Homo-oligomer: A and B are copies of this chain.
Amino acid sequence: MENIKKIAIVGGGPVGALSALFFGKNGWEVELYERRHDIRNSLNDNLSAGKSINLALSERGIESLRHIGLDKVILENAIPMYGRMIHSREGKQTRRKYDVYGRYINSIDRKWLTAKLLNEAEKLSNVKLFFDCKVVDCDFDTGTVWFRRSHDINNLVKTNVDFIIGCDGVYSTVRQSLEKKITVDFEKKYIDSMWCEFSIPALIKNEEIHYAIDPNYLHIWPRKTFMFIALPNTNKTFTCTLFMPKTMFEKIETEHDLLELFEQNFPDLINLIGHNELVKQFFTNPKSPLVTIKCKPHFYKSKCVIIGDASHCMVPFYGQGMNCGFEDVRLLYQLINSNSTNLEKALINYSNTRYVDVVAMCDLALHNWEDMRTSISQGYAIKKIIEDFLYLRFPLLGIVPLYTMISFSNIRYSLALEKWKRQRKILDFLIYMGGIGTFGSIMYFATRIIFKSMKFLTN
């Protein structure tokens, strides 16, 4: 991209930092603007507690890190989760592996990961990071980005670049500028549930620090209309989230209401979190909504593109939000690189293909909300067993479980969704035929027994 000299990346979260690395490592002049302070200065304080769902890094995210040679060092700081651990009301724990070949997803701290990526980006001389800079507007045609610095809030400052990448999340300013410039179809839809964060502390036994529950699983307490989940941290604590309908949250006004909810539904968690902490965390931590955002197109001419949550926001139930954002960065970079003389063509191509895929992923994430909170359906379990069996023993059939396609492959989300719909039809047919076979056999043997009895009686 010879005529592009300088790009502005708006937003310094994981997706923004990764973008700075991709484009910086390939010789672009990069300026990254982040509205908050540099989180690397407060890695150990607890400022973000209660404000972030833990991340589950899987293949798509790892593949992007692989491209810049950071996969290994980052995975060393992650904790493998081999499947779901389902907790019943009675405290029974049931393991459900994610993959018959033992592949796993990786629990990782959002703050640590972002800091790591920022550190790596800062090592590049052509990448400049600016914190406490709130971008307020962009003029794409002139490549102007206006921002305010938090120590000088009254003055608008500007920078001029050739290309703008908006990675500024769900309330993206760059997307708003885009909406003012061109006609952007936009959809924002909340689910009726909200989330609240909790923490399970480490256990101290014989002066040693232990995990209170198995660290190698994503723990779920599914209760049909609501659920509680826990993801392990390297410091042997768990970051937990309660997902629950807004109306249920509103009904909990006193300590008594809260304890009644937990005693009836999650009795084991009262001990794991600790009575006092449970009450404190519930009434202190924010209750946040869960939203799906879809929009198109994702770009303006050869001047601007939005990626990550700025262009698609999904509910967190498939653990794909960040992985999808990381995949955005890689695909965008690859398309720009392979259309090096025509940036606009690359962006048209990116926006058209990516829109179809992220919409499919947003819908799958919503579907998994039902799947996770009801994790107990027998019909589901039987299908899953048959699907896994066919995947493991008859790979030539081409049946691949949906979770495997999404979390352990880089197949396009939209193709995964289509393939899964076809597979479901095949599975339903096989189960139906199996049912007929079983029913037929039973009838056959029953008839034989009846005939034999009749013979016996008439003899």
Q: Does A189 sit within 8 A of B, measured CB to CB?
A: yes
B187–A183 contact, CB under 8 A?
Answer: no
Closest 6 pairs between A and B when the two form their complex, measured CB to CB: A183-B190, A186-B188, A183-B289, A187-B187, A185-B189, A185-B190
Complex CA–CA separation, A280 to B184 (angstroms): 29
Complex CA–CA separation, A310 to B291 (angstroms): 22
Copies in the complex: 2
Q: Which residues of B contact A184 (CB under 8 A)?
A: 188
A187–B186 contact, CB under 8 A?
Answer: yes
For residue A381, give the distance in angstroms from its CB to the closest CB of chain B: 33
Q: Which residues of B contact A187 (CB under 8 A)?
A: 186-189
Name 9 interchain pairs, CB-CB below 8 A, sorted by A. A183-B190, A183-B289, A183-B291, A185-B188, A185-B190, A186-B186, A186-B188, A187-B187, A187-B188
Render A171-211 as a binary contact track against B, CB cut-off 8 A, 1 for contact.
00000000000011111111000000000000000000000
Q: Which residues of B contact A183 (CB under 8 A)?
A: 190, 289, 291
Q: Which residues of B contact A188 (CB under 8 A)?
A: 184-187
Of all chain B residues, the one with the shortest Cβ separation from A187 is B187
Of all chain B residues, the one with the shortest Cβ separation from A179 is B188
Render A265-302 as a binary contact track against B, CB cut-off 8 A, 1 for contact.
00000000000000000000000010100000000000
For residue A118, give the distance in angstroms from its CB to the closest CB of chain B: 29
For residue A420, give the distance in angstroms from its CB to the closest CB of chain B: 26
Of all chain B residues, the one with the shortest Cβ separation from A185 is B189
Complex CA–CA separation, A186 to B171 (angstroms): 14
| Inter-chain pairs besides A186-B187, A187-B189, 11 sampled, C-beta below 8 Å | A183-B190, A183-B289, A183-B291, A184-B188, A185-B188, A185-B189, A185-B190, A186-B186, A186-B188, A187-B187, A187-B188
Of all chain B residues, the one with the shortest Cβ separation from A180 is B171
Most chain B CB inside 10 Å of its own CB: which residue of A183, A186, A190, A291: A183
Complex CA–CA separation, A303 to B97 (angstroms): 50
Q: Which residues of B contact A189 (CB under 8 A)?
A: 185, 187
Of all chain B residues, the one with the shortest Cβ separation from A192 is B183
Complex CA–CA separation, A189 to B183 (angstroms): 9
For residue A97, give the distance in angstroms from its CB to the closest CB of chain B: 36
Q: Which of A319-344 contact B (CB under 8 A)?
A: none
Q: Which residues of B contact A185 (CB under 8 A)?
A: 188-190
Q: Which residues of B contact A186 (CB under 8 A)?
A: 186-188
Complex CA–CA separation, A291 to B189 (angstroms): 18
Complex CA–CA separation, A244 to B274 (angstroms): 65
Complex CA–CA separation, A189 to B296 (angstroms): 10
Of all chain B residues, the one with the shortest Cβ separation from A289 is B183
Q: Which residues of B contact A289 (CB under 8 A)?
A: 183
Q: Which of A186-245 contact B (CB under 8 A)?
A: 186-190
Of all chain B residues, the one with the shortest Cβ separation from A295 is B188
For residue A326, give the distance in angstroms from its CB to the closest CB of chain B: 27
